[in-house]
Amino acid sequence: MKIVDAKVVVTSPGRNFVTLKLTTDEGLTGLGDATLNGRELAVVSYLADHVAPLLTGLDPHRIEDTWQSLYRGAYWRRGPVTMAAIAAVDVALWDIKAKAAGLPLYQLLGGASRERIGTYGHANGRDIPELLDSVRARLAEGYPAVRIQSGIPGLKAVYGVSDTDDTGAPVLHQQARPLVEDWDTAAYLRHVPAVFEAVRAEFGPELPLLHDSHHRLTPIQAARLGRDLEPYRPFWLEDCTPAENQEALRLVRRSTTTPLAVGEVFNTVYDYQALITEQLIDYVRSAVTHFGGVTPLRKLFDFAAQYQIKSAIHGPEDISPVGMAAAVHLDLAVHNFGIQEFSGHTPLTDEVFRHAYTFTDGHLHPGEAPGIGVELDEELAAAHPYAPAYLPVNRLHDGTVHDW
Ligand code: EZ4
Ligand code: CO
């Protein structure tokens, strides 16, 4: 079998998605997600201008060899653009291989290690009463675990709150300039324990509660927050510091027993080296889409497993259903599965990317369709062309740019 066509499809059914479609001489097709939120066209160029010409004529069964030749052959290794492009190729090849075998991808990864995949959903509110309503809504949808994010007194727009409307539906950042959010770390550190207190008081001790600090704290601030949240037994504290400084997590780790989750912006195993070998974290958060595909993410999970660290694949709306499908197959197969973030997509997005995976009673299952189980409606995709979009920028009260 040979690859005869490599096509990059950009579509915006409410937000931008980049998809690689490979076609073989036997008529099999494979899809891979290459969406890099806010920098989409850089990956389109990487794929269309530099990778697609290398793919035609290759045997699609040679996944490891193709991955290594794209990673090592570029000379310029790592980085989100490169790794999103390689991820799309990797997933499209796994899709083809599994279709050729007539099996759902998870069967090629060792088969099911569980019956279904536990998820967490996003609850948020501008204030605590609104957040409590939002938690109630997620529980009514069946979510077994909930991430809680709240507005902070004195701040007008905060991560995880300003990007949803009153009904909890995502507000899309389809605009030509970044939205500016504001930030005050002291106000945040004062408020978050009160948020946990209120949610525990309302929903009791059993509901797993997660929280995302979105890279905004220094190590000593993160240590403080981790300690302050201990009485409420959080499931995890996510991205407490900008963790490209891996050593920073040593201070946090020795200061608190609050579990730590890190890695949604990482793109290779090297970003995790100290975090895993020194057991500084509890969950690895990388997405298939941003980590070079199923091949390296499986290796990461196996590495993490030796240190009792579990998987928690990033699952925001900006991972397309193609990237989500690949994640769900991995989740079902790996032994050290932890939890899967899942927000779902708009009905229009689910129409452009028809998928076999299902979400029932708060749990995902990849389904039994051969491959990853996603079909791209190219006509519908073309009817919704790319629209410029940026992630927000964060500023302190005096105007200083802060981590977003
Ligand atoms: O901000 O995917 O845990 N989830 C997150 C996400 C990220 C977006 C960035 O594109 O932190 O909401
Ligand atoms: Co996050």
Q: Which residues contact 148 (CB under 8 A, 6 or more apart)?
A: 123, 124, 131, 135, 195, 196, 199, 209, 210, 211
CA quadruple 292, 295, 301, 303: dihedral, nearest 10: -100
Residue 105 corresponds to which amino acid? Answer: L
Helix (H, G, I), strand (E, B) or coil at 79: coil
Strand partners, 401: 395
**pLDDT band (50, 70, 90) for residue 172:** low
Give the tens place of pLDDT for each residue, 190-224.
Answer: 999 999 999 999 999 999 999 999 999 999 999 99
Catalytic residues: 159, 214
Helix (H, G, I), strand (E, B) or coil at 326: helix
Residue 165 has pLDDT above 90, yes or no: no
CB 212 near ligand 1, within 6 Å: yes
Residue 170 has pLDDT above 70, yes or no: no
Q: Give me the DSSP letters along 229-268.
A: HGGG--SEEE--S-TTSTTHHHHHHHH--S-EEE-TT--S
In whole angstroms, give the CA distance from residue 308 to residue 289.
24
Give the tens place of pLDDT for each residue, 3-42.
Answer: 999 999 999 999 999 999 999 999 999 999 999 999 999 9
CB 318 near ligand 1, within 6 Å: yes
Q: Identify which of 162, 172, 264 to mutate to test ligand 1's pocket (most ligand atoms within 8 A of the CB).
A: 264
pLDDT, position 99:
98
DSSP state of 398: T
CB 316 near ligand 1, within 6 Å: yes
Residue 352 near residue 11, CB atoms below 8 Å: yes
How many beta carbons lie within 10 A of that of residue 279, not counting itself? Answer: 13
Give the residue with greater pLDDT, 173 vs 31.
31
CB 11 near ligand 1, within 6 Å: no
DSSP state of 175: S
**Rounded to 5 degrees, what are φ and ψ at 354?**
-75, 125
Q: Whose CA is nearest to atom 4 of ligand 1?
A: 316
pLDDT, position 70:
98
Residue 171 has pLDDT above 60, yes or no: no
**Rounded to 5 degrees, what are φ and ψ at 29?**
-125, 155
Residue 63 has pLDDT above 50, yes or no: yes
Q: Whose CA is nearest to atom 7 of ligand 1?
A: 316
Q: Which helix (H) or strand (E) holds 292?
A: none
Give the residue with greater pLDDT, 67 vs 160.
67
Residue 168 has pLDDT above 50, yes or no: no
Give the tens place of pLDDT for each residue, 298-357.
Answer: 999 999 999 999 999 999 999 999 999 999 999 999 999 999 999 999 999 999 999 999
Q: How far is the CA of 212 from the centre of ligand 1 (A)?
A: 9
> Which of left, alpha, beta for 144 (phi over 0: left; psi -120 to 50: alpha)?
alpha
CA quadruple 221, 222, 228, 232: dihedral, nearest 10: 160
Residue 174 has pLDDT above 70, yes or no: no
In whole angstroms, give the CA distance from residue 312 to residue 191.
26
Average pLDDT of the chain, as a whole number = 96
Residue 176 has pLDDT above 80, yes or no: no
Domains detected in the chain: 3-104 (3.30.390.10), 108-371 (3.20.20.120)
Q: Which residues contact 312 (CB under 8 A, 6 or more apart)?
A: 236, 261, 283, 284, 285, 338, 339, 340, 341
Structural tokens at position 109: 């990864």
Residue 259 near residue 310, CB atoms below 8 Å: no
Residue 226 has pLDDT above 90, yes or no: yes
Q: Whose CA is nearest to atom 10 of ligand 1?
A: 37
pLDDT, position 162:
60
